[in-house]
Amino acid sequence: MAGITGMGTTFNLPNYANELIALTPDDTPLLSAIGGLTGGGMTTAVEFEWQTYDLRDPGQNVQVEGATAPAAQERVRANVRNVAQIHQSKVSVSYTKQAAIGQLATPGSAPFRGVDGSNPVNSELDWQVAQELKSIALDVNYSFINGTFANPTTNATARKTRGLLAAVTTNRIAKGVTTTGGTSATDTITSTAHGLTDGNKIVFTLTDVATNIVAGRVYYVVSSAANTFKVATSLGGAALTLGTATGLAWTKPWATALTGDVVNDMIQLAFDNGGLSEQFTATLLCNSIQKRAVTKAFASQYGQYTETSRNVGGVALTTVVTDFGTLNLMMDRHMPQDTLAAVSLEQLRPVFLNVPDKGVFFEEPLAKTGASDEVQLYGEIGLEYGAEKAHAVMTGLVV
C-alpha cells in the first residue's frame, strides 16, 4: 500500500469504511525518551556546540608535611558540534476530496459487493497532516540513530545531523567482516574476491543511490560468483533491482551467538570511559533481533532471566541485570539489525532551531495555486549526544 506524491484527490485517496488501522509503525522510542527526559534544547544558529572534558586519572597523590604546593593542575575542555537538519514536507488535498467524505471506494472487480459502514475520516486535510507529522517524527528518530554528518559550505547540499552510531568513535567493537567499495549495475553487485556464497546474510552499511535496499537491514546473497553477487529479501528469493550505484559497503555478520560476556565487554568500554553512571538512564539500544539475542544471552549468563520495567522519559522500557548494573532495554526499529549500543540517555537531547513567531515544528498554509488546500510542515532539529566516550557500539553481530 504505497503512498502518493502530489495532490490528494478522490481518485488517488479513496475512502474506506470502518476503523482505520495503521500498517506502518509510528513509534519513536529514542526521540520520545530523550525529549521526555530533557525537554530538548534551543539553538539560535544552524550549528550548535557543547563542551566535554576529562578529569585526570586518580592516584594516591600525597604530600609530605610542610611541603610547598605542587604543580598546578588544569583540565582542558573540548568542544563538540552538530547541526540542525531541515525537515520539510508538503500536503495538498483538492477541494473535492475534502468535501466528498461520503464517497466510499467500491470494488474494482467481481464480485462487486459493498460493505456496511461509514468513512471514519471527516477531515481529509487534517488527517493527512497528522500522518505526515508522524512520518517526520520517524525521520528524526532514524536520523538521531543513523544520521551521517554534513555541514556544507554552500546551500547546494543539505545539512545533516550526526547520529549516535556515527558519533561513537572510541568505544567500538566490530564482530563481522566489513567490505567497502562495491558497485552495482541493474541487480548485480561487483566486488573483487568478495568471499560470499549463496545463502549468506549481509547487512548494508552504505547504499549510495541504490534502490530497494536499506542500510541496517538483513539481505540474502543469491547468484554469487567470484567477483559478483546479487541480494534478495529472503533465502533463495528473487534478486532485487539496485540500479547503478558506487561506494556500496556491507558487513557479513559474526557467526557466533551473543553471550552475556560479549555484551558486558561493550558495556565496560562505556563504563570505563565515564558513561552509564546513572543507572536509571543507562540503556542498551537494540532492534528486534538483538533484543531476542540479549534476552537469551543473559538467561544463559545468570541461569534465570526476569524482565522488569522502568518508565524513562515517558517510554516504558524493560530492564536486564548486567555486571554493570540494571540497564534498560530499548527496542527501536531504526537500529541496524546487526548492532547493539550502550547509551547514556541522560547525555542525549534534541536541539531545535526556533523560527520566530512560528515555533520549532509547525504547519502553515501555502499560497493558493488552484482548487486545493496546500500546507507545509517545517522544522529544524539536531542531536546533542554529550561525550561520545559515554556510549559504546558493537556491530556485525549474528543475525
Angle CA 248–235–339, to nearest 5: 50
Any idea of the CA torsion for 160, 139, 137, 383, to the nearest 10 degrees? -30
End-to-end CA gap in the chain: 28
CA distance 335 to 112: 43
Q: Is 158 left (phi over 0), alpha (psi -120 to 50) or beta?
A: beta
What string of pLDDT tens digits covers the 399 residues of the chain?
A: 567 778 777 678 777 767 776 766 778 999 999 987 778 899 999 999 998 877 666 666 767 788 887 787 777 778 899 999 999 999 999 999 999 998 888 888 888 887 888 888 999 999 999 999 999 999 999 999 999 999 999 999 999 999 999 999 999 999 999 999 999 999 999 999 999 999 999 999 999 999 999 999 999 999 999 999 999 999 999 999 999 999 999 999 999 999 999 999 999 999 999 999 998 999 999 999 999 999 999 886 665 556 677 888 888 888 988 999 999 999 999 999 999 999 999 999 999 999 999 988 899 999 988 999 999 999 999 999 999 999 999 999 999
C-beta of residue 368 within 8 angstroms of C-beta of residue 375: no
Cell, residue 231: 541480494
C-beta of residue 183 within 8 angstroms of C-beta of residue 208: no
Which residue segments constitute the domains of the chain, with CATH numbers given?
Answer: 24-53+79-90+119-176+255-399 (no CATH), 177-252 (2.40.30.20)
C-beta of residue 338 within 8 angstroms of C-beta of residue 176: yes
C-beta of residue 384 within 8 angstroms of C-beta of residue 143: no
